[in-house]
Structures are given as C-alpha cells and as structure tokens.
Chain A
Amino acid sequence: KQEVTQIPAALSVPEGENLVLNCSFTDSAIYNLQWFRQDPGKGLTSLLLIQSSQREQTSGRLNASLDKSSGRSTLYIAASQPGDSATYLCAVDNAGNMLTFGGGTRLMVKP
C-alpha cells in the first residue's frame, strides 16, 4: 500500500525566502506525482504535474523535482510571498485509479 509523507508539517518563513517542501513515497511504481495548493475552506488547485518519466517541472516561481528510485519529490518556492501562504499537498498516482495524498505542509509567509 502506498504511503506518502510530507515534511515539514508546518513552516513559517519571512517574505522573500526560498524554501523547499519535501514529499516521500514508499512505492516507486508511480504513474505521476502532482503538487496541489489548498487555501483554507477551499478546494485543491493543481500546481505542477510530473509524469513518471520526468525529473522536474517548473511554473513561475515553483519548481518540482521527482526522484522515483529514492521515492522523493521536492517543491521549491523561490522568493516566497505572503500570498503563497496555504497548505501544500503532494499526491501520488500509482494505481491508475486514485491518488494517495500526503498530510500536507502548512506554509505561512510573513510580510
């Protein structure tokens, strides 16, 4: 059974810092890995999708990497802003019919 762990569970940083969120998974036979953002009381917004054959994806200030063999992914956020404050969720698709989510990292960026 796939298990997904996200570290840290919570993170508070001053505005402008570069930061790294970590995601690890136990079963490396994945189809893809997706990073989401969730604002309080809201649904999930997709940030980046990495297919199993890819090593990384970039969108604006966000960069996500994937190392299947070691079961790890990182989400790098450059020059963080208060608007980046949210919960970031890592989700792995290895069954082709569902996502397994990590517990999330709750990020607070202070002005």
Chain B
Amino acid sequence: GAGVSQSPSNKVTEKGKDVELRCDPISGHTALYWYRQSLGQGLEFLIYFQGNSAPDKSGLPSDRFSAERTGGSVSTLTIQRTQQEDSAVYLCASSLDRWGGGGYTFGSGTRLTVV
C-alpha cells in the first residue's frame, strides 16, 4: 500500500479482555516496528520484526503482550487480559530494511482505551 495502515483506529475494551491490533506495512518494507505512546509520555519501543522474525522483544512491557508477523507483511499485536495502564496509542512503523533505509514511515495509530 501507499502508507502504513493500522486498524482499528480506535478501540475501547473492558478490563480483562484480550485485544488485537493490526498493522499493514508499506509493500516491500522488510522491517516493522511497534511503539506505544501513553498520554503525555514519549514514544516507547515495543518490538521489532525483520521479515517474520522478532530479534528484539526487549520492549514488550509484560508477558501479556505478544506480536507476530506473517508472510513478511501484516503484523498483529495482541494484549491479553488488558489493564487500564495499557491505555495508549499504539503506533506501527515500517522501513525498507533493518538499518532504517529510507527512514521510518508511521501509521496513524490505534488509540486503545481500557475501561
């Protein structure tokens, strides 16, 4: 696609429920990244994919968070048993390669609200 597409754009969920956030990167971009931006906070790195593998999972805040990428394209970030502190904007980005070739392109984000 022309840009990075994320869905849904907004998600309200009850505490304890599981949610899935989707990211469709730019076609041909081999690297994909997830970031989180909490209210009034900076951007926090969550996880990075090169192809389908995730060599760096260091940013995932807890074992309730997981992510996968299939076919070297679409990625899904799953949050299990959501908590109120998970409320944030989840941003996805892609780049040509793992060295940020051509820079990083971000999607519009998914605003997650846990009530």
Residues in chain B near residue A98, CB distance under 8 A:
33, 45, 48, 56, 59
Find out whether the CB atom of A97 lies under 8 angstroms from the CB atom of B50: yes
Chain B proximity of A76: nearest CB distance (Å) = 19
Residue of A whose beta carbon sits closest to that of B108? A43
A101 to B6, CA, bound (A): 21
Interface size bucket, A side?
20 to 34
Find out whether the CB atom of A36 lies under 8 angstroms from the CB atom of B106: yes
Find out whether the CB atom of B42 lies under 8 angstroms from the CB atom of A104: yes
A46 within 8 A of B: yes
A91 to B104, CA, bound (A): 10
Find out whether the CB atom of B45 lies under 8 angstroms from the CB atom of A99: yes
Residue of B whose beta carbon sits closest to that of A103? B42
Which A residues fall within an 8 A CB radius of B?
31-32, 34, 36, 41-46, 49, 89, 91, 93, 96-104
